[in-house]
Amino acid sequence: MADVKEFQADAKGLEILYVEDNDALRVNAAKLLGKFFKDVHTASNGADGFALFRTFRPPIVITDIKMPNLTGTELSRKIRRLDSKTKIIFMSAFDEKEYLYEAIEVGGVSLP
- Position 112 scores a pLDDT of 47
pTM: 0.85
Q: How many Å apart are CA 61 and CA 78, to the nearest integer?
A: 12
Q: How many Å apart are CA 101 and CA 56, to the nearest integer?
A: 28
Report pLDDT digits (tens) over 29-59.
999 999 999 999 999 999 999 999 999 999 9
Whether residue 110 has pLDDT greater than 50: no
- Name the residue ranges covered by the structural domains of the chain: 14-40+54-111
User: In the structure, what pLDDT confidence band is assigned to residue 12 with cuts at 50, 70 and 90?
Assistant: confident
Q: Strands (DSSP E) along the chain, which ranges? A: 15-19, 39-43, 60-64, 87-91, 109-111
Q: Tell me the CATH number of domain 14-40+54-111, given options 1.10.10.1100, 3.40.1190.20, 3.40.50.1980, 3.40.50.2300.
A: 3.40.50.2300
